[in-house]
Amino acid sequence: PGKRYVVLKIKDPKVRQQADCLGMGEGEDVYCIARKDNGPVILGRGGQMVAVGGEIARG
């Protein structure tokens, strides 16, 4: 939590489309708000927060 990341690649086309709509698509700067072991990762950007499954977050 607290670290910034750049979204490099989103493999799943449906997830890619949803991320683009939320402004968190490929090439965007996001930050980790919270992370649960073997669970979701909460990412933020521009005041928006999104829970992403752990496997999707790891790529």
Give pLDDT tens digits for 14-54.
Answer: 989 999 999 999 999 999 999 988 889 999 999 899 999 88
User: How high is the pLDDT of residue 5?
Assistant: 93
Furthest-apart CA atoms within the chain: distance in Å: 27
* Cα separation, 18 vs 23, whole angstroms: 9
Q: Which two tokens stand for residue 15?
A: 């997830």
Give pLDDT tens digits for 2-14.
Answer: 999 999 999 989 9
Domain limits for position 25: 4-58
Provide the number of structural domains found in the chain: 1
User: How high is the pLDDT of residue 40?
Assistant: 94
Do residues 7 and 24 lie in contact, with contact meaning Cβ atoms separated by under 8 Å?
Answer: yes
Residue 27: left (phi > 0), alpha (psi -120 to 50), or beta? left
pTM of the shown model: 0.79
Residue 21 maps to which CATH number? 2.30.30.90
